[in-house]
């Protein structure tokens, strides 16, 4: 007799449970929802970066065919500001006065019977400005500078003494540009009032945050607002905050007395839903001849909007990445006339890791030491800032197994020494120490009479596989088959869940599902990269990547691998292609389209290999860590280090473009 072993539900790479809906086009995204008698809204944006509206003429727009309402700061009601979160404040409510704080700021909204009529009417609005000289440069002496804005600056020992005693020192300045999240799907909001009750479909990573913000804006109880986002599409952090267009859509629906749909244009996606902030960073390292760090100083400045608070620590992780007796890690922010920024996959750490890991590579070359060996000699067994043990750490295994799988030993350390025909070949690597979190979360599980289960939480799934892994986990905990479990999400009528971001939702939601199920039935990493460089044309091609990831317990190998691959692709874009270009005099974004803002395509992506190492994390009962962002962090530095190995040219500013190599 043949014995059939039971296949564990958690761990193997099962297909996404929502895959059939997505590939057949039946998954309902926010823009797909409609109501009877629905109207459409179009936004009007400012064409200066700073100043005040002197006159705004809407008479022609109001008289245009099909127009139901035109709202500007002159007739908009008072709107409250959404509640603060631990990471940021919600953006200021729109249309509250005539001030202009950034190019592309919303100065009006037109509601009409059709989207085409609304767009035509919006073009009829005439605006005169009293312009002011905008603040657009990180080094502008007029800009207000915030020091230690989050209380995360770290200091230990005496950096000046550590640098003075060092045999080898590195002093490098690195810059990274503004980047735009650019999910493929355009963000959309659909709003319908029924008396003081409100239903909203929105492209959000945090339905509960949308609900709280709209309640504050319109002075209605949260209990009367339902926010739905069962399918969101990509977000990469763009859906974390509650943007002004969401508030304006709800205002338009209340003003017109009809349900209203608003879909952003691609240029509006560049100015209205956040971006990764630009940075200027100074890294100073000191080491003795054996490669042990004697000092590490990391000073970073990034940009912030004039009236905003956005948590983007760039230098903070450098304090705990390596064992070093003398450390300074300092962050500052400069207030500029720019659109409100937001977290973008790997916020802060993506920029800070590029500077730190590039400088470490430079230090390894100066000492004549292998870059992996340098990092191992400065390995932090415990948290060097707190002196406490990590909940789990397999970074040493990431280095060792990643190097073995990549074939790192075949690397000739001399820059420019490896060739393949006309191509220069470079090997580069970077270590990654990336935070993850576990915010409060709730879930509810019910067993039905037919033996099936319904488990739900208001969490969202932005393509990370949340719905799939929570279905797996629920089935395992309840002792059911996958087809006996339905997982519901993206609805504020379900139990509270935090935003999907910061690589924390899987741990938080998984533990909530664990607790709910029990009631029913009683990020470290290492990146290794090979690049090819054409020395005559300045072309850079990433040839292969090996990502060694300490992700704790992996609930679904297929979706976890997919998350790392997606992060790696984003890191390739950060290193070689992506840059949001702002005109220095006007503040206008000059490449606000996917035709001019370059992102990686299939031809840019090589063989990507992912290996998972480490043990379940002891920090939470199910042993998981977030893997949504760690795949991106480290890629820019690894690629830049590989380019140096191939060419002997050290690139300290991203992206690495042809002009920087020729």
By annotation, the residues acting in catalysis are 629
Decide if 176 contacts 315 (C-beta within 8 A).
Answer: no
| Inter-residue contact 218 to 228 (CB < 8 Å) | no
| 228 neighbors 491 (Cβ within 8 angstroms) | yes
CA distance 238 to 490: 16
The CA–CA distances, whole Å, from 129 to 98, 345, 659 equal: 9, 36, 38
Strands 279-287 and 419-420: unpaired
346: DSSP letter: S
Alpha helices in 479-609 (DSSP H): 505-521, 557-576
- Asked if 188 and 203 touch (Cβ cutoff 8 Å), the reply is yes
The CB density around residue 487, as the number of other CB atoms within 10 Å, is 27
Q: Which residues, including other chains, have CB under 8 Å from residue 145's CB and lie 6 or more apart?
A: 301, 332, 333, 334, 335
Half-sphere exposure of 96 (CA within 13 A, CB side): 12
Residue 112 region by backbone torsions, left for phi larger than 0, else alpha for psi between -120 and 50, else beta: beta
Residues 6+ apart with CB under 8 A from 431: 321, 357, 360, 375, 395, 398, 399, 525, 526, 634
Residues near 507 by Cβ (< 8 Å), separated by ≥ 6? 436, 437, 438, 619, 620, 622, 624, 625, 626
Measure the CA–CA gap between 140 and 172, rounded to whole angstroms: 21
CB of 564 within 8 A of CB of 455? no
SS (H, E, C) 354-421: HHHHHHHHHHHHHHCCCHHHHHHHCCCCECCCCCCECCCCCHHHHHHHHHHHHCHHHCCCCCCCCEEC
Task: Yes or no: say if 138 and 98 are a contact pair by the CB < 8 Å rule.
Answer: no
- DSSP labels for 565-581? HHHHHHHHHHHHT----
Q: Are 359 and 170 in contact (CB under 8 A)?
A: yes
Per-residue buried b or exposed e for 84-123, using 16+ beta carbons within 10 Å of the residue's own CB: ebebbbbbbbbbeebbbbbbbbbbbbbbbbeeebbbbbbe
Dig out the tokens for 595 from the structure.
């035709």
Which residues lie below 8 Å from residue 414, measured CB to CB, with a gap of 6+?
none
Nearest to 651 by CA among 267, 224, 277, 359: 359
Q: Which two tokens stand for residue 62?
A: 């109001």
Of 86, 587, 151, 97, residue with least CA distance to 330? 151
Can you tell me the distance from the alpha carbon of 547 to that of 363, in angstroms, rounded to the nearest whole number? 23
User: Residue 569 CA to chain centroid, in angstroms?
Assistant: 13
CB 271 within 8 A of CB 356: no
Q: Are 89 and 309 in contact (CB under 8 A)?
A: yes
Q: Rounded to whole angstroms, how far apart are CA atoms 297 and 357?
A: 13
Neighbours of 261 (CB within 10 A): 23
For 91, 464, 490, the CA distances from 202, given in Å and listed in that order, are 16, 18, 10
């Amino acid at each position: 007799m043949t014995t059939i072993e039971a296949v564990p539900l958690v761990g193997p790479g099962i297909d996404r449970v929502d895959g059939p809906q997505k590939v057949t086009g039946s998954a309902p995204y926010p823009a797909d929802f409609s109501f009877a008698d629905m109207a459409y809204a179009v936004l009007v944006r400012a064409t200066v970066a700073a100043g005040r509206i002197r006159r705004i003429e809407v008479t022609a727009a109001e008289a245009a065919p099909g127009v139901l309402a035109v709202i500007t700061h002159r007739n908009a009601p008072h709107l409250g500001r959404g509640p603060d979160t631990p990471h940021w404040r919600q953006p200021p409510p729109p249309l509250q006065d005539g001030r202009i704080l950034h190019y592309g700021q919303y100065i009006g909204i037109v509601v009409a019977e059709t989207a085409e009529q609304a767009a035509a009417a919006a073009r009829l609005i005439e605006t005169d400005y009293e312009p002011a000289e905008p603040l657009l440069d990180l080094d502008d002496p007029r800009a207000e500078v915030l020091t230690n804005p989050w209380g995360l600056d770290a200091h230990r020992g005496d950096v000046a003494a550590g640098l003075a005693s060092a045999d080898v020192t590195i002093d490098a300045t690195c810059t990274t540009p503004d980047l735009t999240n650019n999910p493929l799907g355009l963000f959309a909001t659909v709003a319908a009032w029924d008396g003081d009750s409100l239903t909203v479909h929105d492209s959000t990573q945090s339905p509960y945050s949308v609900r709280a913000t709209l309640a504050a804006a319109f002075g209605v109880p949260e209990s009367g607002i339902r926010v739905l986002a069962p399918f969101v599409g990509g977000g990469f952090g763009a859906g974390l905050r509650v943007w002004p267009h969401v508030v304006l859509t709800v205002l338009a629906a209340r003003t017109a007395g009809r349900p209203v749909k608003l879909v952003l244009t691609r240029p509006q996606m560049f100015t209205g839903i956040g971006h990764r902030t630009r940075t200027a960073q100074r890294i100073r390292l000191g080491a003795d001849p054996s490669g042990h760090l004697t000092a590490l100083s990391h000073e970073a400045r990034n940009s912030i909007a004039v009236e905003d608070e956005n948590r983007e620590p760039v230098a903070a992780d450098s304090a705990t990445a390596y064992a070093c007796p003398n450390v300074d890690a300092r962050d500052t922010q400069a207030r500029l006339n720019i659109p409100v920024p937001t977290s973008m996959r790997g916020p802060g750490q993506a920029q800070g890791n590029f500077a730190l890991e590039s400088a470490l590579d430079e230090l390894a070359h100066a000492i004549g030491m292998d870059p992996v060996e340098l990092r191992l000699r400065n390995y932090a067994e415990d948290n060097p800032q707190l002196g406490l043990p990590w909940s789990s750490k397999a970074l040493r295994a990431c280095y060792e197994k990643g190097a073995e799988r990549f074939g790192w030993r075949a690397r000739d350390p001399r820059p420019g020494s490896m060739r393949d025909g006309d191509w220069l070949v470079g090997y580069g690597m970077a270590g990654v120490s990336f935070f993850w979190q576990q915010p409060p979360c709730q879930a509810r599980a019910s067993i039905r009479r037919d033996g099936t289960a319904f488990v739900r939480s208001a969490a969202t799934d932005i393509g990370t596989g949340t719905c799939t892994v929570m279905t797996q986990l629920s089935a395992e905990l309840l002792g059911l088959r996958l087809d006996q479990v339905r997982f519901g999400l993206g609805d504020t009528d379900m139990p509270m869940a935090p935003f999907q971001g910061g690589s924390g939702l899987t741990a938080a939601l998984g533990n909530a599902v664990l607790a709910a199920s029990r009631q029913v039935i009683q990020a470290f990493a290492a990146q290794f990269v090979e690049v090819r460089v054409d020395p005559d044309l300045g072309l850079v091609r990433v040839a292969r990547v090996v990502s060694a990831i300490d992700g704790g317990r992996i609930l679904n190998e297929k979706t976890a691998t997919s998350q790392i691959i997606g992060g790696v692709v984003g890191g390739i874009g950060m290193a070689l292609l992506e840059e949001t270009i702002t005109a220095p005099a006007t503040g206008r974004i000059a490449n606000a389209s996917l035709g001019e803002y370059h992102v990686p395509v299939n031809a840019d992506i090589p063989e990507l290999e992912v290996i998972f190492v480490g043990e379940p994390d002891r920090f939470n009962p199910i042993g998981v860590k977030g893997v949504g962002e760690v795949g991106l962090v480290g890629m820019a530095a690894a690629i830049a280090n590989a380019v140096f190995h191939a060419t002997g040219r050290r690139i300290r500013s991203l992206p690495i473009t042809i002009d920087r190599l020729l």
